Structure 1
Amino acid sequence: MRNLPLLLIFILLSSGCSSYKVSEDYVFPSKKDKALYIKSYNQTLKLWDIPFEETDVMTSYGMAHIIISGPKNGEPVILFHGTDASSSMWFPNIKEFSKRYRVYGIDFPLEAGKSVTNCIKLSNKETADFYNEIFEHFQMKNINLVGVSRGGWMATYLAVQPDNKIKKIVLLSPAQTFGGIENIWKVLTALNLKLFPSPKSLMKFFNAFSYYPDKIDSIFKEQLYLAYKYGNSKPRLLNMVRFSDKDLRSLKIPVLVLVGDHDIVNSEKIFVKAHKLIPNVETAVIRDAGHFLSIDQSEIINKKVVEFLNKN
C-alpha cells in the first residue's frame, strides 16, 4: 500500500457494508489480541480515581459499553471520545465532570474499546440511531454532549438532527465540523501509526497531536498503541461530511468550541464561521495545547467545560 495515493488508501480503509457480518467481533478478530487490549484498557481506567460503573446496553447495531459516573440524579453528560481512544481517554477530566453531572462515556462500536459489533460499517444515520437507543434506554432528557475530534463531529451531527433532546454541546477541536485539516502532514502520523504500528510511529503520533507528549501517562499511551496495532477499525473520514451553513444555523442551543493554539486539526480561524452561523456560541483558544487539549491542559478544559454546563 506504500505506493497508493492517499485518497485511495482512505477509500480502501473506509470500504464496507453495514449489513455484512464478518465475525463475532469485527474490531478485534483475534481473542488473544483483544485480551491484551482489554487488560490495557482496564489499567487506564485505574487513572480515573473516582467511583464508576461499567455496563452494557444492547442496541440494534451491537452491544454498547458504557462507563457511568457521577450522582444518579445529575443531568446527563455524554462523552464522545476521539478516534480509537475509547472512553478511558477522559481520565484527566472525569473527576471534575462527575461532581455535579451523571456522566456516560460510550465506546464507539467500530473502534477499539469494549463496545462490540460485527458490522463493517455504520452509516451516519445508523450511528445516530445507536446513540439514541442508548439515550432512550436510560430515559435521558436535557442531554449535554461533550466531544473531542471525531467525537466532536458526532456530537454536532446528533445536535442538528430534528426532534433531539440535546440541551448543550461542547466541541473540543471538532474534526471536519467547521473546516478542513489545518496541518495534513502532521495529521497523517495517525494514518502512519495505523498502517505501520511501532514505538517509533507512536512517538511521532504523540509528538504531532500533543503539546506535552512526554506528560501523557504511559498507561494510556500503551492502550492507544494496542488499539492501533491490533484493532481493525478504519478511519471514518468519508462519513464525516462537512456540515452545511443551514445545519450549523439550526444549532439554537448553547455551543462551546475550544481549540488548542498548537492544534494540527483546527485553528482559531474556525471561530469566524462558528460565530457567523451559530446564534449562541462561545469560543476560546487554549494556550500551550495541541489536538489532545483535554489532556494537554486538563485543568483549564475542566474549568471551562464545567462553567459552561453550569450556566442557566
Structure 2
Amino acid sequence: MNYFKTLLFLVLLTFFTGCKKDEYKEFKKVPEYITHPDKAHKAYYEAYDKTLQNWGVAYEDLYITTSKGIAHVLMSGPKDGTPVVLLHGMSASSTMWYPNAKALAKQFRIFAIDLIIEPGKSHKTADFENIEEVTAWYEEVFWALKLESFHLVGTSRGGWIATDIALQSKRDIKSLILLSPVQTFMWIPPSTDLLKNILNVFYSKEDGVWRTMETLSKNPSKIDKTYMAQYRLGLKNDTEDKFLVQMKPFPNKELSTLKMPVLVLIGDDDMFNTKHTIHLTEKYLPRGRGEIISNSGHFLSVDQAEIVDKKMIDFMKSAEKVD
C-alpha cells in the first residue's frame, strides 16, 4: 500500500512541477534601461504603460537579448493556445493592438513584438544595414520564444515585413493576415490624403499629428487619448524610415509561392490600398482571400475593431481545421 502511495505522490509531484514550470522565466528580468530610463525615454515608457491599461487582458513583459539589442514582447492568452505573432505598424508600438488584444487572447496565445527600430520598449544597441536584417532580427526573436508554428498578423509596414517573413522563413506559419499592408501588393496610389501628409511639414508637430490621423482613420476620435499621448511622445524617439525605399511591392511570382492561407483586409477609405490589392491577393496567392472593410481607413483594426477581430479569429480557426 505504501508503494502505491509513494508512486501516486511522485506522479502528482511531477504533474504539478511541470504545470508550474515557466518556460519564459529567463526573459522576465526587467532591464536597467526600463528601471532607470534616461530623461528622453522616461515619459514615453510611462505613457506606454498607461496605454496598456486598455489592453483588456492580463499580459506579461518579456525582454529578449538579440544581436541588435533587447526585444520587448507583450504576451497574453492561454499557455496552450496556438501562438499568434503581432507585428505593429510604422512609428507605433505593440500597444496599438489595444483594441484587439482581449478578443485575440481569449483562445490564442499572442506575442506582440516591439520592432527595435521603432518607439516601444525594445532597445537597439547595433545598427541595421538593410531591411533584410529586420526580418532576420524577428527570426532571432521567434527562435528565442521557441515559436516553430504560429499564425502571423502584420499591419501597415508590419504587413510588408510579415509577408517577407512568410516568404523567407522555414517555420510553420499556419496563416498570414495582413491589415492594410503598405507597399506589399502595389505602390502607394496618389491621393489627396497623401498630399495632405506631405504638406504636414508646414504645420506644427501637434497639428501635423492630428492631420495625419485624419488621413489614416475614418473616425480619429475613436483612437484612445492615452494611446495618442504615447504616440506623440514616441515620435520624439528613434524611428528609422531609411528602409522605406527598400520596401517595394513583391513580384506576383514571389507571392504565388505563399502556400499558407492568407487573409488581406483593407479599408474602404484606405490611403495605401485599393480594390486592386484584393484582386492581386485572390489572383496570385494560392490560398489568398481579400476583403474590404466598410467605414474604415488605414487603421481598420481601430475603426472597426470588432469586425476585424472576428474575421481574424474565424480565419485562423478555419486555417487550423484545414491543417
* Among candidates 210, 231, 240, match of residue 237 of structure 2: 231
TM (norm. structure 1) is 0.86
| Aligned match of 1:243 | 250
CA separation of 1:184 and 1:56: change in aligned 2, threshold 3 A: farther
Please list, as runs of the form range in 1=range in 2, the aligned pairs for 1:195-214 lying within 5 A after superposition.
Answer: 198-214=205-221
Q: Give the deviation of 1:183 after TM superposition.
A: 3.9
Name the SS for the 1:160 alignment partner: helix
Q: Is the 8 A contact 2:149 2:171 kept in 1?
A: no
Q: In terms of mean alpha carbon deviation, does 63-72 or 230-239 score higher?
A: 230-239
CA separation of 1:83 and 1:53: change in aligned 2, threshold 3 A: same
Name the SS for the 1:46 alignment partner: helix
Tell me, in whole angstroms, the C-alpha distance in 2 between the residues paired with 1:139 and 1:197. Answer: 45
Determine whether 1:268 maps to 2:293.
Answer: no
Please list, as runs of the form range in 1=range in 2, the aligned pairs for 1:47-62 lying within 5 A after superposition.
Answer: 47-62=54-69
* Among candidates 276, 283, 289, match of residue 290 of structure 2: 283
| Aligned match of 1:158 | 165
CA separation of 1:145 and 1:201: change in aligned 2, threshold 3 A: same
CA separation of 1:83 and 1:194: change in aligned 2, threshold 3 A: farther
Q: Is the 8 A contact 1:173 1:258 kept in 2?
A: yes
Tell me, in whole angstroms, the C-alpha distance in 2 between the residues paired with 1:84 and 1:145. Answer: 20
Q: Which has the higher contact order (CA 8 A, sep 6+)?
A: 1
- Report the residue type matching 1:85 in the other structure: A
Please list, as runs of the form range in 1=range in 2, the aligned pairs for 1:1-312 lying within 5 A after superposition.
Answer: 31-161=38-168, 163-183=170-190, 185-187=192-194, 198-228=205-235, 230-235=236-241, 236-311=243-318, 312=321
**How much is the aligned-residue C-alpha RMSD, in angstroms?**
2.0
CA separation of 1:272 and 1:159: change in aligned 2, threshold 3 A: same
Q: Is the 8 A contact 1:189 1:201 kept in 2?
A: no
Q: Is the 8 A contact 2:200 2:208 kept in 1?
A: yes
Residue deviations 1:15-46, cap 9 Å, x none?
xxxxxxxxx99xxxx92121111111111111
Residue deviations 1:133-161, cap 9 Å, x none?
11111211221111100000010000011
Unaligned runs of 5+ in 1: 1-23
Tell me, in whole angstroms, the C-alpha distance in 2 between the residues paired with 1:135 and 1:177. Answer: 22
- Report the residue type matching 2:64 in the other structure: V
Q: How many residues align?
A: 284
- Percent identical pairs in the alignment equals 37
Q: Give the deviation of 1:186 after TM superposition.
A: 2.2
CA separation of 1:192 and 1:165: change in aligned 2, threshold 3 A: farther
CA separation of 1:189 and 1:109: change in aligned 2, threshold 3 A: farther
- Report the residue type matching 1:179 in the other structure: M
Name the SS for the 1:166 alignment partner: strand
Tell me, in whole angstroms, the C-alpha distance in 2 between the residues paired with 1:174 and 1:299. Answer: 19
Q: In terms of mean alpha carbon deviation, does 213-222 or 122-131 score higher?
A: 122-131
Q: Give the deviation of 1:238 after TM superposition.
A: 1.4
**Which protein is bigger by CA-based radius of gyration?**
2
Q: Is the 8 A contact 2:99 2:302 kept in 1?
A: yes
Q: In terms of mean alpha carbon deviation, does 260-269 or 175-184 score higher?
A: 175-184
CA separation of 1:191 and 1:105: change in aligned 2, threshold 3 A: farther
Unaligned runs of 5+ in 2: 1-31
Q: Give the deviation of 1:125 after TM superposition.
A: 2.5
Q: Give the deviation of 1:257 after TM superposition.
A: 0.3
Tell me, in whole angstroms, the C-alpha distance in 2 between the residues paired with 1:41 and 1:140. Answer: 26
Tell me, in whole angstroms, the C-alpha distance in 2 between the residues paired with 1:221 and 1:70. Answer: 25
CA separation of 1:188 and 1:67: change in aligned 2, threshold 3 A: farther
